[in-house]
Amino acid sequence: MSVIEIQNLSFGYTSEAVLEGLDIAVRAEDCVGLIGANGAGKSTLLRLLLGELTPQRGEIRLFEQDVRHFRRWRMVGYVPQNGMSLGKNFPATAAEIVMAQLVGQMGWRRFPRKEHREKVMQALEMVGMADFANRLIGTLSGGEKQRVMLARVLAGDPKLLLLDEPISGVDDRATHRFYELLEKLNREEKLTILMITHDLREAAWHFGRIFCLEQGSVVELNPQDLAAELQHRHKHPCRHCRRTGDAAQCLHDPH
C-alpha cells in the first residue's frame, strides 16, 4: 500500500515554481531520506503533505486518500526542526511534554488516567528517555530534547512519521543515535518514515531509500547516484531540458 503518493505536483509562492512535476511514491514501512540544498523546496513539500498548502497542480494522497479530504491526522506524526528550543527554566518535565500529545484522549476533564501515564512511559522508553521522565525539559541536551519530541509524537501511535531536519545543530554522536533510533522504529514498530536531512552519509547508512530534491524536481538515487552525490557530483537536468524532453542529454549546470 502507498502511504504517500504524489503525482505531477507543482507549487509556487509566486509565478516561479518551487516544485514542478514531482512524482513520489512512499510505500508502507519505507524509511526515506529527502535531501537537497537550502531553498530547494523540502519544507514546502512537507507543508503540502500536512495540508498546510494547496497544490497548484497535481495530486497528493495519504493512505490512498486525497490530502484535501484527509481527516485521519492522528495517523501522521510530525517532528519539526528545532521543535524543542525551550529555555532552561521552562517549567515542564519530559513526561509532561509527552503527555501533552494525549490531551485530546483524556475527555472533558483533561485529567490523565493510568493508561495515559503508561503510554507516556512507553513512548519515552522507545526513545531511550525513560530515565529522564522527571527531568525539566530545559535541562536536557539538544539531542535529548529531540528524542523527547519524538516520544511525544510516538505517544499518539502514528503510522507515518514526517521529520523536518529534527537534529539540526545537534552534535555528531547524538545525530548518529537519532538515526539509529529511527531505523529501529522503522524495523521494529513498522513505522513509515520520511525525513528531511542534510546528513546524506547517515541517511544512506540507515535509510532504505534516498530522494534528492533540486531545481524543483526530485529523483530517487540509485547506488551509483548515491556515490556521486556523496562526492558532490550529482546534478539534475535543468528545468529547460526537463520541459523540452532533452533531460537525458542535459549538459547544463542547474545551479
What is d(CA 184, CA 154) in angstroms, rounded to the nearest whole number?
13
Give a yes or no: residue 30 inside a domain: yes
Encode the chain (255 residues) as per-residue pLDDT tens digits. Answer: 899 999 999 999 988 889 999 999 999 999 999 998 888 899 999 999 999 999 999 999 999 999 999 999 999 999 988 655 655 667 899 999 999 998 877 766 677 889 999 999 999 999 999 999 999 998 998 889 889 999 999 999 999 999 998 887 778 888 899 999 999 999 999 999 999 998 888 999 999 999 999 888 899 998 777 877 777 655 555 554 555 555 444 444 443
Q: Which pLDDT value is given to residue 249?
A: 47
Domain housing 167: 2-249
List, in order, residues 6 or more apart from 115 with CB less than 8 Å away: none
Grid cell listed for 179: 538515526
Instruction: Quote the number of domains for the chain.
Output: 1
- Classified as helix, coil or strand, 32 is strand
DSSP string, 96-120: HHHHGGGGGGSTTTT---HHHHHHH
* Backbone torsion region of residue 133, taken as left when φ is above 0, otherwise alpha when ψ lies between -120 and 50, otherwise beta: alpha
Q: Which pLDDT value is given to residue 50?
A: 96
Handedness of CA 127, 157, 100, 113 (dihedral sign): negative
Q: Which pLDDT value is given to residue 86?
A: 58
Give a yes or no: residue 166 inside a domain: yes
Q: Which pLDDT value is given to residue 43?
A: 92
Domain CATH code at residue 177: 3.40.50.300
Q: Phi and psi (nearest 5°) for 252?
A: -80, 160
Give a yes or no: residue 236 inside a domain: yes
Return the residue matching grid coordinates 497548484.
Answer: 56
Q: Which pLDDT value is given to residue 252?
A: 43
Give a yes or no: residue 255 inside a domain: no
Give a yes or no: residue 182 inside a domain: yes
124: Cα separation from own chain's centroid: 19
Q: Which pLDDT value is given to residue 87?
A: 57
Q: Which pLDDT value is given to residue 85?
A: 61
Helix, strand, coil percentages in the chain from 3-state DSSP, rounded to 5:
40, 25, 40
Give a yes or no: residue 125 inside a domain: yes
Q: Which pLDDT value is given to residue 232?
A: 64
Q: Which pLDDT value is given to residue 251?
A: 41
Give a yes or no: residue 179 inside a domain: yes
Q: Which pLDDT value is given to residue 90?
A: 77
Q: Max alpha carbon distance in the chain (Å)?
A: 65
137: Cα separation from own chain's centroid: 22
Q: Is 195 exposed, middle or buried (0-12, 13-18, 19+ CB in 10 A)?
A: buried
Give a yes or no: residue 254 inside a domain: no
Q: Which pLDDT value is given to residue 134?
A: 96
